[in-house]
Amino acid sequence: MRHDILKPRSHRKTKLASLPTAVPLSFTRINQKKMRIERPWSRWKRNTRTGIQCRYDREESVLMDRYDGLDEGIKRLAKVEGSLVDVLKNKMRNDELYRNRK
C-alpha cells in the first residue's frame, strides 16, 4: 500500500509553481522522480496565518532578489532548467533503449 494515500489530497498534489524570472536556487529543488522543479510555496496549501505571512515574506524576498540579482538569478535559473533538460534527455534515451531492446 502506498503511504501517500493516507495523506490528504492537497498534500499529495504538488503543483509546479510558475517560474518567476529569477528565483534563488535555495528555493528550487528538482524532483527527480516526478521530473519537475519544486518550490516550497507550491507545497504550502494550508491557510494558517503564519504560513501565509511566511509565504508573503518569501515572495517579497524573491522579488527583491529579482531586482537585485536579476542577471545572476537568470543565469542560475538557466542552469537549473539545463539540468532538468539533461534529466529529461537521459530519461528519453533510457526509454528508447528499453523500447528497442524488447
Contact 41, 96 (CB under 8 A): no
> How high is the pLDDT of residue 46?
47
2-59 pLDDT, tens per residue? 444 454 555 444 444 444 445 555 555 655 666 655 555 545 444 445 545 555 555 5
Residue 87 has what pLDDT? 77
CA distance 8 to 6: 7
Q: How far apart are CA 18 and CA 25, in angstroms?
A: 15
What's the rounded Cα separation, in Å, for the pair 78 and 34? Answer: 20
Report d(CA 54, CA 43) in Å as an integer: 13
Rounded distance between C-alpha atoms, residue 17 and residue 28, angstroms: 10
Write down the pLDDT at residue 62: 60
Task: Give the SS3 label for residue 38.
Answer: strand
Question: Which of 51, 43, 52, 41 minimizes the C-alpha distance to 12?
Answer: 43
Q: Where are the domains of the chain?
A: 3-101
pLDDT 10s digits, 62-92: 655 555 555 565 666 666 666 777 777 777 7
